[in-house]
Amino acid sequence: MTKRKNLLATLLAMPLLAMAGTVKSPNGNIVVNFSVDDSGRPTYEMTYKGQPVVRPSHLGLELARDKHASRGMEETDLIQGFSIVKEKTSTFDETWRPVWGETATIRNHYVEYVATLQQSKEQRTILIRFRVYDDGIGLRYEFPQQKNLNYFLIKEEHTEFSMTGDHTAWWLPGDYDTQEQETQESRLSQIRSRMKEAVNWGNSSVAVFSPTGVQTSLQMKSQDGLYINIHEAACADYATMHLELVDEQTKALTTRLEGSSNAYTPHPSPCASALPKPFTFVSHLTPDATGLKGAMQTPCQTPWRTVMVSDDARDMLSSNLILNLNEPCALDDTSWIHPTKYCGVWWEMIVGKSNWHYTDDYPSIKLDQIDWKKVKPHGRHAANNEKVRRYIDFAAKNGLDQVLVEGWNVGWEDWANMWKRDVFDFVTPYPDFDLKALNDYAHSKGVKLLMHHETSSSTQNYERHLEAAFTLMNQYGYDAVKTGYVGDIIPRGDHHYSQSMNNHYLHVVKEAAKHHIMVNAHEATRPTGLCRTYPNLVGNESARGTEYEAFGGSRPDHTCILPFTRLQGGPMDYTPGIFVTKLSEWSDNTSWARITIAGSLALYLTMYSPLQMAADLPEHYERFDDAFQFIRDVACDWDESIYLEAEPADYITVARKAKGTPNWFIGGKCDEQGHRSVIRLDFLEKGRKYDCTIYADAKDAHYETNPQAYTITKKVVKQGDVLKLAEAPGGGFAVSLIAQ
Amino acid sequence: MTKRKNLLATLLAMPLLAMAGTVKSPNGNIVVNFSVDDSGRPTYEMTYKGQPVVRPSHLGLELARDKHASRGMEETDLIQGFSIVKEKTSTFDETWRPVWGETATIRNHYVEYVATLQQSKEQRTILIRFRVYDDGIGLRYEFPQQKNLNYFLIKEEHTEFSMTGDHTAWWLPGDYDTQEQETQESRLSQIRSRMKEAVNWGNSSVAVFSPTGVQTSLQMKSQDGLYINIHEAACADYATMHLELVDEQTKALTTRLEGSSNAYTPHPSPCASALPKPFTFVSHLTPDATGLKGAMQTPCQTPWRTVMVSDDARDMLSSNLILNLNEPCALDDTSWIHPTKYCGVWWEMIVGKSNWHYTDDYPSIKLDQIDWKKVKPHGRHAANNEKVRRYIDFAAKNGLDQVLVEGWNVGWEDWANMWKRDVFDFVTPYPDFDLKALNDYAHSKGVKLLMHHETSSSTQNYERHLEAAFTLMNQYGYDAVKTGYVGDIIPRGDHHYSQSMNNHYLHVVKEAAKHHIMVNAHEATRPTGLCRTYPNLVGNESARGTEYEAFGGSRPDHTCILPFTRLQGGPMDYTPGIFVTKLSEWSDNTSWARITIAGSLALYLTMYSPLQMAADLPEHYERFDDAFQFIRDVACDWDESIYLEAEPADYITVARKAKGTPNWFIGGKCDEQGHRSVIRLDFLEKGRKYDCTIYADAKDAHYETNPQAYTITKKVVKQGDVLKLAEAPGGGFAVSLIAQ
């Protein structure tokens, strides 16, 4: 900080001149420069080991003109005319203990720089705060309460991330409503030409907005080997951020993305100055039904905008930057929050062998007009007493904690995409699901049922029933709920990732906490580390999950990308564990999962989550009971995690020490190329012996031609031993190391 | 019905030909003809005593094209291509007892005609149902559940009401968010030229949509002396209907109403045929944030579209058509619902002498960030313990049932029009309002407090807090709530009168009923008789209330129009009783109420409501205690009501018999012209004597120059006696007749 101090000393004599700050991370690898340019626009740049990561990039917010402007709504942009009136630099170093996680403790160590910026004409002050870590930065806008800035509407946030070149990127089409697409791997310059094919137009919620719009977390790799990741942290009561790439074709004209129903206006700088340079990403927030991006009241702040960087891909996976930028735990008592392994009445419905709904007798239903006892069942309703008992027995026998049952409650006959508000009541079971008896049976065997609340995205309806639904859960002994947000948002016009929906998701988590209920939200917005503050948010889907293996399948490298992207913000309920990958073996579904059995076992380690499902059918696990032993054994909460190998979309290898035990587990997962791992067991306790069981792909295993070929090898190992493991195409391995 | 039966008999032999129905009211005065025209458009016309009231007018609905059309959403219009495949006529005659009302019993006597209409190409069936009363008709669309019609989105309803000439109309500008305007009196042909001046652009919620759009209930008078009223009944989970006049200037072009922010597209017939004739009203529903008018699932129906008609203006006021078209009471137990007379801490805040809010220390507040005990009060907070006790004492002394207290709960510092979602919590009192002590004090004196929930139109916030708010009311012994919907609706883009908001208002009423709470909703949509089905909906504002006397005042004829228009759908919480009409006598407010004291007393009879406020300050009533005696005495629930005289915007005289007593009360109210009433007391019980007290305008009384001049005369009267009463300009009279 010496340089900055000298600068400050110089500036003390001329306080009206613009100041500029330079801030270095604790180990000095990352340096951020902040200043305002000639037109008073805040600008930052970022280097890693002296190498540019973010070229000079502008910061600012464009405000909406509102009918209430004359009554106190601000409408002048927070873009330019700023001068730095105060700067403050400080260091923070603290170690905290997550309620659950990849490690028992997390060090939060950063250098912070805060610039106080004033627009002299408008007499307004905002702050821009940087936290500079050794593995990346966070920056956010802060809006103190003040006479001339109390309320404002955001038309758009204009945070720029100017990349230094035509990096390789692993990206998803920017979309207001879904992130269940296959990840695209391309150069930045190829995004525009790849966009149309990147979108799965069959998804009912597609709302892409730009030919160069992409989602975060966005993982990139520069041509000189830097791994760069852009995301956000602590997105609460603010719209989810997308990124819009300025490329050579970007013009300040209104165009329309072919095939999309969304009008698209590129939004380069709202100032008179030229467009940002090509390879610059500009923030693009998710709008509400009126097209606005946010309603703000001071004091408030934006989420953190994050840029992680390293020359080692493993640092992308071990980074705690997103969690660290979130607020500490807001719950006084977290004793009721626990890691959970579960199975469920689910996969056979996804595959199409049985149904969530109960009857085919009605073209549509209204909940208040049907006597379910008199309805004729179609006979394929999965959530019935007999089947659920079978799953409870299976869970009890195999040490699984809970059994998810989807389709237990009335309303599934016509639940999605019909703009139907009163779609579920979340308390009335179908006639063949005995709520009390099944819970009693489960509890008698030491197992809990896991509640399911599909909202059909009718959020007003869900909020109306929320208290009664959670009270019912308490009454019958459920302590976790999987929520779902399939289909278009009601109220109509809103989007899954808007400010109001992000508020809704967090509202549900907070209300659940009052009832000591853990939440696993599917189709909700992508996570940004809020699980640190609300650790009862134990999972999210928010990406293309295992269900897509029944909808045409995902690429073999899919699970080698997700930890770099989707998992940055928090755990994913990926629902792994498909052993019978060719669905036609037991159903009419011709889809198949592009993974080997050993690869499936690896996911319990490489896809970190405190909530892990064994998603396949009990009878399939019984066919491969020796392999299933690993799922019985593996932990889902950890004292320590060491990423041993990693390359985006190629392979990930991680070793983890089970919480409160001396036992280690190792998982390795690779793409369609296969992979050879050499693992030195340096992390084992010195002088201790471990019973080692290796679940590996057989020599001729292959995700397509021979997915069920695996070997199980047992031996005794100690610190310093080396394991050489071959992963088949689309395969992987899993190792358990139980201390003697 | 003979004619129709003959027709039917003829048609039985040729069922594929279009049929047509003719239906007469029980006494034959009203006749409706229904048919489909050459293009298969449903068409009706209506006569009264042989005179045309509604010329041939089309019926139909235009559906929206939806992204989910391929999945079962219907999108072909329900406009043309119909044939009548079945007709049914029946008679209904039933007398029912309202929980509260103008009369002890209500006769529901009509002839019903139902046409089943089929679109053969689309293989869809709808019903159009007419109920023909002696004083008007109701018609509605019904959509049975069927294979090809399960869900649809309404782009617009095209129900036409083709008037026979250039009637005089008493109208309000059509508006999606407010009906707090002065009524305009003009010929239909003058609506367009009067529109701009008719709008009070200062109202924060103005959302006018057309240069010829007007609201319902719309009262008209034809040049040959027919009184015609168009409104709707039983508007539940459907958008509120406005009327758009087709006049000589209507063109099928997109124009913009000067001064309005709403784009306006006239929507004449969506068919290729020409515009409807001039003087035709076409329905215009209130849109949601996306511009759509409704999401429907069969089986369902529209509200009833009503046309009342008579050659006697009094029939407009005594009609029960709107109530009769609503469903019977849906509540099993109504014993807890009761008429209520109340005063309240309200008028002095409206006038500007004191405040709802507590502190001026913050430019804005966030409820979760303020310790109210440490806040510095500004000293003008009205809802304080001392003042509330004063009102409780006053209520107890004068036999008033309840005391409304506005501004009791935290959040009023910055509550409206800032797009602030979390604006109130409805449970936290300001530090100077002792919730428990004040309720205990009130109850010890036989008085209840009346709860106030201003929602600031943040409906999501209100629904989140609703259960806790009602539970608090139960805990402290409140049994009635005044709700408020000031400002723009949150979620943004929605409107006060949309389908979703109408659903919200009714949701609140239903939830309140579960807690045995009566609801009086202000700024909600205009009522359509739903109080029959949910009699705990004891009041609404939904028009320009007494508060406007402090905002510049209303015209003297205002209260002689409202019973013809706003009150058709249900009672209004008009909050009458201003005795000190010149506000400058006791405040800095230069506004004044254009009414005499005797006129104010009359409103307790002419403006029927089971909930009546004595709105002025206790000290003002104490100054005129002899006149206040009438407010102490007057009932607000009735066994019988007789409208003696009426002419829209001129005068209304009504006699009512207090429920469960032999006592009568008479009120007369007139406009700025004054009025002379001659009342024959034929309705009194034969042979019985009555102590008669007459509260009349003094000879020189005048709403502007001498409003407080009144006389009180006492005498004994009997059946057949005649009262001759002179009403001053802007005045009126009130009479109590207490049986000896």
Could you tell me the two tokens for A40? 């008073």
Position B19 scores a pLDDT of 66
Could you tell me the two tokens for B327? 């469903």
Q: Which of B204, B297, B491 has its CB closest to that of A418? A: B297
ipTM of the assembly? 0.93
What are the angstrom distances between the C-alpha of A572 and each of A104, A545, A640, B29?
19, 9, 19, 71
Q: Is the pLDDT of residue A255 over 70?
A: no
Mark yes or no for CB contact A420/B151 under 8 Å.
Answer: yes
Position B13 scores a pLDDT of 38
Q: Which residues partner with B308 through β-bridges?
A: B136, B229
Q: Which residue has the tokens 């990930």?
A: A652
The alpha-carbon gap from A184 to the nearest alpha carbon of chain B, in Å, equals 26
Interacting residues of A619 by C-beta distance below 8 A, sequence separation 6+: none
Please say whether the beta carbons of A726 and A696 come within 8 A.
yes
**A139 membership: H or E segment, kind and range:** strand A136-143
Position A8 scores a pLDDT of 44
Q: What's the average model confidence in pLDDT over A436-440?
A: 98
Catalytic residue among A74, A102, A413, A547: A547
* Count, residues in chain B: 740
Q: Is the pLDDT of residue A5 over 60?
A: no
What are the angstrom distances between the C-alpha of A608 and each of A276, A651, A671?
37, 15, 18
Mark yes or no for CB contact A493/B288 under 8 Å.
Answer: yes
Q: Which residues partner with A724 through β-bridges?
A: A678
Position A416 scores a pLDDT of 85
- Could you give the CA distance from residue B330 to residue B236 in angstroms, rounded to a whole number? 14
Position B145 scores a pLDDT of 94
Q: Which residues of A touch B417 (CB under 8 A)?
A: 68, 71
Please say whether the beta carbons of A249 and A454 come within 8 A.
no
Q: Which residues partner with B230 through β-bridges?
A: B218, B307
Please say whether the beta carbons of B280 and B162 come within 8 A.
yes
Please say whether the beta carbons of B410 and B426 come within 8 A.
no
- Could you give the CA distance from residue B580 to residue B546 in angstroms, rounded to a whole number? 13
Residue type, A361: D
- Burial class, A203, CB count within 10 angstroms (exposed 0-12 / middle 13-18 / buried 19+): middle
The alpha-carbon gap from B378 to the nearest alpha carbon of chain A, in Å, equals 18
Q: Strand B518-522 vs strand B537-540: parallel, antiparallel, or unpaired?
A: parallel
**A322 membership: H or E segment, kind and range:** helix A321-324
Q: Mind spelling out the 3-state secondary structure of A203-239?
A: CCCCCECCCCEECCCEEEECCCCCEEEEEEECCCCCC
Residue type, B365: I
- Could you give the CA distance from residue A727 to residue A677 in angstroms, rounded to a whole number? 8
Digit-coded pLDDT (tens) for A585-619: 999 999 999 999 999 999 999 999 999 999 999 99
Interacting residues of B565 by C-beta distance below 8 A, sequence separation 6+: B170, B172, B183, B217, B218, B219, B229, B543
> Could you give the dihedral angle defined by the CA atoms of residues B614, B468, B236 and A462, in that order, rounded to the nearest 10 degrees?
160
Q: Which of B146, B147, B151 has its CB closest to that of A418? A: B151
Interacting residues of B705 by C-beta distance below 8 A, sequence separation 6+: none
Q: What is the DSSP letter of B215?
A: -
- Could you give the CA distance from residue B429 to residue A265 in angstroms, rounded to a whole number? 47
Average pLDDT per consecutive 10 residues, chain B (740 residues; last block may be shorter):
43 49 97 96 97 97 80 79 96 98 98 97 96 98 94 95 98 96 97 92 81 97 98 98 90 38 40 70 96 96 98 98 98 98 98 98 92 96 98 98 98 92 97 98 98 97 98 98 96 96 98 98 98 98 97 97 98 98 98 98 98 98 98 98 98 98 98 98 98 98 98 98 98 98
**B11 membership: H or E segment, kind and range:** helix B2-11
What are the angstrom distances between the C-alpha of B538 and each of B329, B485, B535, B667?
13, 17, 6, 21
Mark yes or no for CB contact B420/A295 under 8 Å.
Answer: yes
Q: Which residues partner with A714 through β-bridges?
A: A693
Q: What is the DSSP letter of A78?
A: B
Mark yes or no for CB contact A419/B493 under 8 Å.
Answer: no
Could you tell me the two tokens for B304? 């009833």
Q: Which residues of A touch B145 (CB under 8 A)?
A: 362-364
Mark yes or no for CB contact B72/A418 under 8 Å.
Answer: yes
- Could you give the CA distance from residue B158 to residue B323 in angstroms, rounded to a whole number? 24
**B345 membership: H or E segment, kind and range:** strand B340-345
Q: Which residues of B touch A423 (CB under 8 A)?
A: none
Please say whether the beta carbons of B286 and B292 come within 8 A.
no
Q: Is B606 helix (H, G, I), strand (E, B) or coil?
A: helix
Q: Which residues partner with A156 through β-bridges?
A: A62
Q: Which of B418, B464, B500 has its CB closest to that of A68? A: B418
Q: Which of B71, B153, B420 has its CB closest to that of A417? A: B71
Mark yes or no for CB contact A460/B298 under 8 Å.
Answer: no
Residue type, B337: I
Q: Is B614 helix (H, G, I), strand (E, B) or coil?
A: coil
Residue type, A536: N
- Could you give the CA distance from residue B694 to residue B706 in angstroms, rounded to a whole number? 19
Residue B547 annotated to the active site: yes
Could you tell me the two tokens for B708? 């407080």
Q: Which residues of B touch A288 (CB under 8 A)?
A: 491-493
Mark yes or no for CB contact A150/B460 under 8 Å.
Answer: no
The alpha-carbon gap from A72 to the nearest alpha carbon of chain B, in Å, equals 8
- Could you give the CA distance from residue A446 to residue B549 in angstroms, rounded to a whole number? 69
Position B70 scores a pLDDT of 56
Q: Strand A213-214 vs strand A160-162: parallel, antiparallel, or unpaired?
A: unpaired
Q: Which residues of A touch B67 (CB under 8 A)?
A: 204, 261, 488
Mutate to test the interface with B, among A286, A297, A366, A370 (most CBs of B within 10 A): A297
Q: What's the average model confidence in pLDDT over A425-446?
A: 98
Of A43-52, A69-78, A106-115, A249-258, the poorest mean pLDDT is in A249-258
Mark yes or no for CB contact A288/B493 under 8 Å.
Answer: yes
Q: Which residue has the tokens 């946010």?
A: A294
- Could you give the CA distance from residue B400 to residue B426 in angstroms, rounded to a whole number? 25
Digit-coded pLDDT (tens) for A481-538: 999 999 999 999 999 999 999 999 999 999 999 999 999 999 999 999 999 999 999 9
Digit-coded pLDDT (tens) for B278-322: 899 999 999 999 999 999 999 999 999 999 999 999 999 999 999
Q: Strand B42-48 vs strand B30-36: parallel, antiparallel, or unpaired?
A: antiparallel
Q: Do you find a cis peptide bond into B299, omega within 30 degrees of 0?
A: yes
Q: Is A372 left (phi over 0), alpha (psi -120 to 50) or beta?
A: alpha
Digit-coded pLDDT (tens) for A163-222: 999 999 999 999 999 999 999 999 999 999 999 999 987 776 789 999 999 999 999 999
- Give the start-end residues of each E strand in A531-673: 537-540, 611-613, 638-647, 651-658, 664-670
Please say whether the beta carbons of B639 and B660 come within 8 A.
yes
Q: Which residue has the tokens 């709107």?
A: B322
- Could you give the CA distance from residue A730 to residue B319 in angstroms, rounded to a whole number? 78
From the list A283, A133, A313, the residue with the least C-alpha distance to A222 is A313
Q: Which of B145, B261, B288 has its CB closest to that of A364? A: B145
Digit-coded pLDDT (tens) for B60-80: 999 998 776 655 666 789 999
Q: Which residues of B touch A495 (CB under 8 A)?
A: none
The alpha-carbon gap from A510 to the nearest alpha carbon of chain B, in Å, equals 12
From the list A555, A639, A558, the residue with the least C-alpha distance to A606 is A558
What are the angstrom distances between the C-alpha of B242 and each of B159, B218, B230, B286, B590?
11, 9, 10, 7, 35
Q: Which residues of B touch A363 (CB under 8 A)?
A: 145-147, 150
